[in-house]
Structure 1
Amino acid sequence: MRDEMTKQYLDWIRENLKKTGKTQSGLASHLGIAHPQITQLLKGNRKLKVDELPRIAEYLEANLPSGDVVPSSGGLTEGVVAGLVEAGAFREVDEFDQSDRQRVAIPRDELFPNARQLLFDCSGDSMNDLKPRPILPGDRLVTISYEDVEHLVELKSGMVVVVQREREGGHFREWSVKQLELYPDRSEFHPRSTNSKHKPIIIRQDHEADDGVTVQVIALVRRVMNEMPGF
């Protein structure tokens, strides 16, 4: 974020933390981070992450002062590199939440200009047989946050989505890309792979996978990018 924009948001956070019942520790808990990180943020010693803004607004029960992402001239906006999507790879949550994420300039999504754009780097072969275009190791997915468009977009069979699975009380997390199939009593998230080891994730109406792991859609895939090697 630009310095002046960061100051605007920090002033907004400080002002709204004066509300009854709103505390730094409460905000930290809502974001899933340690309390000292909020202290450092308000002192200007920690970067304010674009993808945290909607959740901060949710906790503060306040409208964002000027939107969570401000497009620049030329039709570009800021995308957050969220991390790896890799089927079967559960990682400790700290690997996701405690590191500063890279931000890159990408084309604005004209259909969803106010939604956060999240970028995921693909690892593994779980979608190497997707039609009409496979998703291969090294591809970068350009997605929109499902949380931001849930009220606008109805999930449909055939959509390619990023799915989050959590186990052991949320201490371990997996992000993977799947193709959605919807049925009256369940949702199925399918790999499209030549490798038979990859199995679908099935969610019954109780919103839990067959093995009890919590599952949710976190992003809708809008584009796939790949840079040529050798540069």
Structure 2
Amino acid sequence: MKNNIAYLRKQKGLSQADLAAEIGIHWTNLSKIENDRSDPGMDRFQQIAGALGVKPADLFSEIEGFREDGPAYDSAGSQALLQFAGEAQAGVWRDVNIYANDEAQIAAISPDPRYRKARQYVWQVLGDSMDKAGIADGMYVVGADYWEFSERYRPIETGDIVVVERLRFDGQERERTIKRYQRIKGHVVLMPESSNPHHKPIHIPKDGIVEGEQIKIIAYVSGAFSLFGKAIYDLDEGQKILL
């Protein structure tokens, strides 16, 4: 998801060197973050937000008059159709540089009206890591941006289904997958719900780093569409609704 850091920095009259010095990193590392070639993790985004005098969600929120490569909007300023954010497939790592210059694609799926205050995206699910939750191979899930959902609706809770992103090799490779959020004895476990025993839980420590991997939740999943968009599995209500 494209960030607004460069835009907000320029609005404050700061150079990359100025902001980088403020948060204690080299300006070349800040450049990578601004251009989505590196993902520093939640703590660093919070630090950047503090230096810019904004909330962390503002680093990713749509800014009035600045919707470059963003989702489609109707005349009232609401998302009319959703931006396709790529594939979610457990165990498959992809080079982020391959997709860095891809043009934004719009999916013929409308946003969930319950969460219009948060940006929403569509991912195509590949594989069977969540088939027992009703999310089959080839379906499309609709998810609300994690930061905006958390600030404007509620925190992520045990039982929620989320889009998870894992990064390795200094952010050069990523995996995106769908999991069930569980908080067990003070730490977070992201659970598959699969008929395939190959899929294993992901345990997230407080710093979000496991054996050189950065792990973060990027979206709250509210529903999943069939391949042809003819049905939605309402994950909030736990029942299938025909459109």
- TM (norm. structure 2) is 0.66
- Could you tell me which residue of structure 1 aligns to residue 88 of structure 2? 85
Contact 2:125 2:139 in 1 (8 A): yes
SS for the counterpart of 2:80 is strand
Aligned pair count reads 191
Contact 2:72 2:79 in 1 (8 A): no
Q: What is the CA-CA distance between 1:113 and the residue it aligns to?
A: 1.4
Q: What is the CA-CA distance between 1:153 and the residue it aligns to?
A: 1.9
Question: CA 1:20 to 1:91, structure 2 compared with 1: closer, same or farther past 3 Å?
Answer: same
Question: CA 1:194 to 1:17, structure 2 compared with 1: closer, same or farther past 3 Å?
Answer: same
- Could you tell me which residue of structure 2 aligns to residue 183 of structure 1? 184
- Could you tell me which residue of structure 1 aligns to residue 34 of structure 2? 31
- Could you tell me which residue of structure 1 aligns to residue 42 of structure 2? none
Q: What is the CA-CA distance between 1:150 and the residue it aligns to?
A: 2.3
Question: CA 1:70 to 1:82, structure 2 compared with 1: closer, same or farther past 3 Å?
Answer: closer
Q: Deviations over 1:134-156 (max 9, x none)?
A: 21111000111112222232111
SS for the counterpart of 1:129 is helix
Q: What is the CA-CA distance between 1:72 and the residue it aligns to?
A: 2.2
Q: Deviations over 1:67-116 (max 9, x none)?
A: 86675269862311000000000101113432112113533433321311
Contact 2:72 2:106 in 1 (8 A): no
Contact 2:156 2:220 in 1 (8 A): no
- TM (norm. structure 1) is 0.69
Q: What is the CA-CA distance between 1:29 and the residue it aligns to?
A: 3.8
- Could you tell me which residue of structure 2 aligns to residue 143 of structure 1? 143
Aligned with residue 98 of structure 2, among 95, 98, 104: 95
Aligned structure 1 segments of 4 or more residues deviating by more than 3 angstroms: 15-19, 25-30, 66-71, 73-76
Ranges in structure 1 where 5+ consecutive residues have no aligned partner: 1-12, 35-53
Question: CA 1:82 to 1:128, structure 2 compared with 1: closer, same or farther past 3 Å?
Answer: same
Amino acid aligned to 2:131: N
Q: Percent identity of the aligned residues?
A: 25
- Could you tell me which residue of structure 1 aligns to residue 64 of structure 2? 65
SS for the counterpart of 1:157 is coil
Ranges in structure 2 where 5+ consecutive residues have no aligned partner: 1-6, 17-26, 38-54, 230-243
Contact 1:179 1:190 in 2 (8 A): yes
Contact 2:72 2:82 in 1 (8 A): no
Matched, 1:167 2:186: no
Give me the CA root mean square deviation: 3.5
Separation in 1 of the partners of 2:185 and 2:207?
13
Contact 1:185 1:205 in 2 (8 A): no
SS for the counterpart of 1:149 is helix
The 5 Å alignment of 1:191-230 reads 191-209=192-210, 211-228=211-228
